[in-house]
């Protein structure tokens, strides 16, 4: 492979092919070891939405028009609607043609799109 002018085109191409195959194998192994790591955080968001619904119904919270009610995870914990979370965050209840609930969390390796620090009083 090495001639008097250095490495040839064939050796370079072989090196690229070997590198690409190594990357494909490494990716497939990593995806099996670390399956969708966001799954646990999405379940947390769903749990917060369910807790928010219960909290809203028990406390008879009413919003109208463009009004929104922000309820923090800290408030939901104190009211025993959620267990301990490793994350901070909040839920927002609003009204469109129907009730709208959205959870926002901020964790070490995950943050919900649209999360706003200033709405989270537990920080």
pLDDT score, position 87: 86
Locate 15 and state its tokens: 């090196």
For residue range 36-69, list pLDDT tens digits in order.
678 888 899 999 999 999 999 999 888 888 889 9
Label residue 123 by pLDDT band (50, 70, 90): very low
Domain that holds residue 26: 2-33
Q: Rounded CA gap, 94 and 87, in Å?
A: 23
Instruction: Based on the fold, state whether residues 27 and 48 are members of the same structural domain.
Output: no
Instruction: Based on the fold, state whether residues 14 and 65 are members of the same structural domain.
Output: no
Structurally, the chain folds into a number of domains equal to: 2
Look up the pTM and report it: 0.66
Instruction: Based on the fold, state whether residues 109 and 78 are members of the same structural domain.
Output: yes
Backbone angles phi, psi at 75, to 5 degrees: -65, -40
For residue range 75-107, list pLDDT tens digits in order.
999 899 988 778 889 999 998 888 899 999 998
Instruction: Based on the fold, state whether residues 114 and 70 are members of the same structural domain.
Output: yes
Over 60: is that where the pLDDT of 16 sits? yes
Instruction: Based on the fold, state whether residues 61 and 111 are members of the same structural domain.
Output: yes
Instruction: Based on the fold, state whether residues 59 and 98 are members of the same structural domain.
Output: yes
Instruction: Based on the fold, state whether residues 96 and 115 are members of the same structural domain.
Output: yes
């Amino acid at each position: 492979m090495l001639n008097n002018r250095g490495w040839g085109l064939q050796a370079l191409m072989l090196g690229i092919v070997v590198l690409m195959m190594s990357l494909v194998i490494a990716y497939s192994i990593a995806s099996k070891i670390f399956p969708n790591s966001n799954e646990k955080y999405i379940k947390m968001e769903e749990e917060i939405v369910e807790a928010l619904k219960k909290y809203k119904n028990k406390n008879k919270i009413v919003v109208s028009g463009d009004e929104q009610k922000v309820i923090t995870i800290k408030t939901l914990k104190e009211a025993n609607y959620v267990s301990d979370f490793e994350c901070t965050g909040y839920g927002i209840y609003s009204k469109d043609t129907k009730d709208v609930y959205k959870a926002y969390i901020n964790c070490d390796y995950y943050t919900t799109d649209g999360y706003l620090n200033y709405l989270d009083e537990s920080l």
